[in-house]
Amino acid sequence: MGMAWVKEFDRSGDMIKKSQLKDKAFELKLYDNLIKRLHSIQNFQRTRTKRSKMSQENTQKKVVVVGAGWAGLGAAYQLAKAGCDVTLLEAGPYPGGLVAGWKSEEGRSVEGGIHGFWYPYSNIFSLVKELGLDPFTPFTRSSQYSPAGLEVESPIFQNEPRLPTPLGTFIYTRFKRLPLEDRLSALPLLYSIIDFDNSDEAWRRYDKVTARELFKQFGVSARLYKESFEPMLLVGLFAPGEQCSAAATIGMLYYFILAHQPDFDVVWCRGTVGEKIFKPWIQRIEELGGKVLTGKRVNDLILDENGKAKGVVCGEETFEADGVILGVSVSGIKKIVAGSKTLNNYPEFRNLSNLGGIDVLATRLWFDRKVNVPLPSNACFGFDRTTGWTFFDLNALHDEYKDESGSVIETDFYHANQLLPMSDEEIVAKVHKDLATCVPGFREAKVVDRSIIRVRQGVTHFAPGSYQYLLPGTTSIDNLYLCGDWIITNHGSWSQEKAYVTGLEAADRVLEKFGISQKASIIPVEADELHIQLARTINTTARSLLKSFLPDFWLP
Ligand SMILES: Cc1cc2nc3c(=O)[nH]c(=O)nc-3n(C[C@H](O)[C@H](O)[C@H](O)COP(=O)(O)OP(=O)(O)OC[C@H]3O[C@@H](n4cnc5c(N)ncnc54)[C@H](O)[C@@H]3O)c2cc1C
């Protein structure tokens, strides 16, 4: 019966015997449905054949990924999609790394700091689309406070008429106090933006200079540095200017603020990233056959007689592998190397001892009443000498707290070394006082609950001179790869997006080693605007001309 229909309604039209057709429209509809069903059966068979072919190729290929942050999860997902036998080992009780979220004893959602997703995070935005998720708020406006009150308000830059970069950033940002002459003193700094093209050579040239020296050298006013650039460094690189590499400073500022007018626009998760993104993502990895195991702290690597990685050690257990990816933070890898007889034999891993992490403090306070917070995301400076902080109105950002009777405020402190030893009570009192300085309505409000999370040495410190010790995604162990937000990559992204991208890059390297042609579709960062490209070409040509007749004599 089915076949007869197919013959009868062959798409060549002429074969339809018109006399037999009583209700052509009805029958054509039936025909369409039938063809759709046949196509879906064919697609199903094709996918099954492709997956079984892929798994035949890859069943023997075991990959162990260490660390379930953005980087490790990105790598594991890509490998599972390619049909590899992938096991992701995470030391902590929850996946997510720095972005992990969990429930407090009272059943309230908490996380180790709130995370923004900036306009250029194309790969993360593409991932959530692929997973069919809708985790984000609309783009939000933000402001900046000092002990003197409101200092800056930022618009949603993509809604303003588009201007060649960096004009939009300068013109549309509303400074409440900073005089125009201070803002104009940033202009000479544009040369460094042109000169620093994210190449290895540019990193080497700028990395040993501190951000403070860079700004001084280019004539930035003391007030612009104190009230604008340093606060950006404290929240972007988690350290004050004298402790940040100038290379990392320009790279970060260009990516988040200067490359294109909308780059500073940001969205937030409508709950914890753990709940909104990682939970369904891990479920997908598991559906694809991947294993995600928590509470598994890796402490060594096992090599075979040819010096190739053949497994990892995790306490009493060993996990065999044809390829290993380490997706752990700087402090995480330093700990592995310190306890590993194997990795300790390699200078590149021993040299990691020269890198450092930065302390962060994440607090969440529940108040007894709603206080009106003008904008949902806010950065603050000038409260402590070398600490920057941000606060977020979670009633406005998180679905869970929309109808809460009192305000729920996340307040995160970066470069918080001197705050970590304080007791929880002292921290709550400090946060409350600082919040009330910015938004006086908090003075009368009472704190009814709190979450205090101390992240020791948690985030990467891009210190001056650190670039020489950072590692690329490949290592001198043939089948051992690295990923994470501190890895050298020429992609150009930062933070969560960089971690995720380096995870995909690591997976691609493993697959290439196995001779599997499947590759992640990594979206490159948006190209430089034309005038920047032109200025960079002129600058590179001038540089190489100068180099051809000047002696190689001066410090870079
Ligand atoms: C308070 C705060 C706010 C931030 N705000 C933002 C923001 O707004 N936007 C943004 O993009 N980024 C932000 N970041 C940075 C962002 O969190 C990181 O860049 C990103 O999460 C790094 O991901 P990762 O996978 O490289 O590393 P991690 O998240 O550090 O993951 C590494 C994982 O490895 C595990 N691990 C370590 N050692 C071992 C071992 N021996 N065995 C097994 N597992 C191990 C760790 O437990 C961890 O889960 C913020 C960070 C903090 C702390």
Q: In this predicted model, what pLDDT tens digit does every residue of 121-169 receive, in sequence order?
A: 999 999 999 999 999 999 999 999 999 999 999 999 999 999 999 999 9
Which residue's alpha carbon is at the smallest distance from atom 33 of ligand 1? 67
Q: CB-hemisphere CA count at 13 Å for 177? A: 13
The pLDDT of residue 363 is 97
Question: Each residue of 468-488: pLDDT tens digit?
Answer: 999 999 999 999 999 999 999
The answer to whether the CB of 89 is under 6 A from ligand 1 is yes
The answer to whether the CB of 525 is under 6 A from ligand 1 is no
The pLDDT of residue 105 is 83
Q: Is 467 helix (H, G, I), strand (E, B) or coil?
A: helix
Cα 162 to ligand 1 centre (Å): 34
The answer to whether the CB of 485 is under 6 A from ligand 1 is yes
Burial of 2 (0-12, 13-18, 19+ CB in 10 A): exposed
Instruction: Please state the rounded mean pLDDT for residues 528-540.
Output: 97
What are the residues facing 269 on neighbouring strands? 136
**What count of other Cβ atoms lies within 10 Å of the Cβ of residue 6?**
13
The answer to whether the CB of 522 is under 6 A from ligand 1 is no
Tokens read off for 179: 């005089």
Please check whether residue 444 is in contact with residue 393, taking contact to mean a CB–CB distance below 8 angstroms: no
The answer to whether the CB of 388 is under 6 A from ligand 1 is no
The answer to whether the CB of 267 is under 6 A from ligand 1 is no
Question: Each residue of 186-200: pLDDT tens digit?
Answer: 999 999 999 999 999
Distant-in-sequence, close-in-space partners of 97: CB < 8 Å, separation ≥ 6: 67, 68, 69, 70, 71, 72, 329
The answer to whether the CB of 455 is under 6 A from ligand 1 is yes
Cα 413 to ligand 1 centre (Å): 16
Secondary structure letter of residue 138 according to DSSP = P
Distant-in-sequence, close-in-space partners of 400: CB < 8 Å, separation ≥ 6: 109, 271
If you compute the radius of gyration of the chain from its CA atoms, what whole number of angstroms results? 27
The answer to whether the CB of 298 is under 6 A from ligand 1 is yes
Phi, psi of 210 (to 5 degrees): -85, 160
> CA-to-CA distance for 138 and 140, rounded, in angstroms?
6
Phi, psi of 241 (to 5 degrees): -55, -35
The pLDDT of residue 492 is 97
Cα 329 to ligand 1 centre (Å): 7
Cα 541 to ligand 1 centre (Å): 39
Residue keyed to tokens 């294993």? 291
Looking at the chain, the whole-number percentage of residues with pLDDT higher than 70 is 89
Q: Give the pLDDT band of residue 84 (cuts 50, 70, 90).
A: very high
> What mean pLDDT is reported for the chain?
90
Question: Each residue of 492-528: pLDDT tens digit?
Answer: 999 999 999 999 999 999 999 999 989 999 999 999 9
Q: Please report the atom of ligand 1 found closest to the CA of residue 484.
A: 26
Show the DSSP H helices in 303-371 as ranges.
330-338, 347-350
Evaluate if residue 44 carries a pLDDT over 80.
no
Burial of 225 (0-12, 13-18, 19+ CB in 10 A): buried
> CA-to-CA distance for 480 and 236, rounded, in angstroms?
30
Which residue's alpha carbon is at the smallest distance from atom 32 of ligand 1? 328
Planar angle of CA 27, 33, 37, nearest 5 degrees = 145
Looking at the chain, the whole-number percentage of residues with pLDDT higher than 90 is 85
Instruction: Please state the rounded mean pLDDT for residues 531-548.
Output: 94
**What count of other Cβ atoms lies within 10 Å of the Cβ of residue 485?**
26
Strand 377-384 with 142-146, pairing: parallel
Cα 30 to ligand 1 centre (Å): 54
Please check whether residue 469 is in contact with residue 391, taking contact to mean a CB–CB distance below 8 angstroms: no
Q: Please report the atom of ligand 1 found closest to the CA of residue 336.
A: 41
Evaluate if residue 18 carries a pLDDT over 60.
no
The pLDDT of residue 54 is 53
Evaluate if residue 378 carries a pLDDT over 50.
yes
The answer to whether the CB of 325 is under 6 A from ligand 1 is no
Tokens read off for 316: 């009493």
The answer to whether the CB of 503 is under 6 A from ligand 1 is no
The pLDDT of residue 203 is 97
| DSSP assignment string, 407-462 | -EEEEEEES-TTTTTS-HHHHHHHHHHHHHHHSGGGGT--EEEEEEEEEEEEEEE-
Which residue's alpha carbon is at the smallest distance from atom 20 of ligand 1? 496
The answer to whether the CB of 90 is under 6 A from ligand 1 is yes
The answer to whether the CB of 328 is under 6 A from ligand 1 is yes
The pTM of the full predicted model, rounded to 2 decimals, is: 0.90
Cα 237 to ligand 1 centre (Å): 14
Burial of 240 (0-12, 13-18, 19+ CB in 10 A): buried
Q: Please report the atom of ligand 1 found closest to the CA of residue 296.
A: 43
The pLDDT of residue 550 is 80
The pLDDT of residue 446 is 98
Q: Please report the atom of ligand 1 found closest to the CA of residue 503.
A: 25
CA distances from 149 to 156, 206, 286, 373, 380 (A): 21, 35, 49, 13, 10
What separation, in Å, do the N-terminal and C-terminal C-alpha atoms of the chain show?
Answer: 81
Q: Is 207 helix (H, G, I), strand (E, B) or coil?
A: helix
The answer to whether the CB of 71 is under 6 A from ligand 1 is yes
Q: Please report the atom of ligand 1 found closest to the CA of residue 314.
A: 42
> CA-to-CA distance for 282 and 279, rounded, in angstroms?
5
CA distances from 520 to 58, 377, 492 (A): 16, 33, 17
Evaluate if residue 41 carries a pLDDT over 90.
no
User: What count of residues does the chain have?
Assistant: 556
Tokens read off for 549: 């007749």
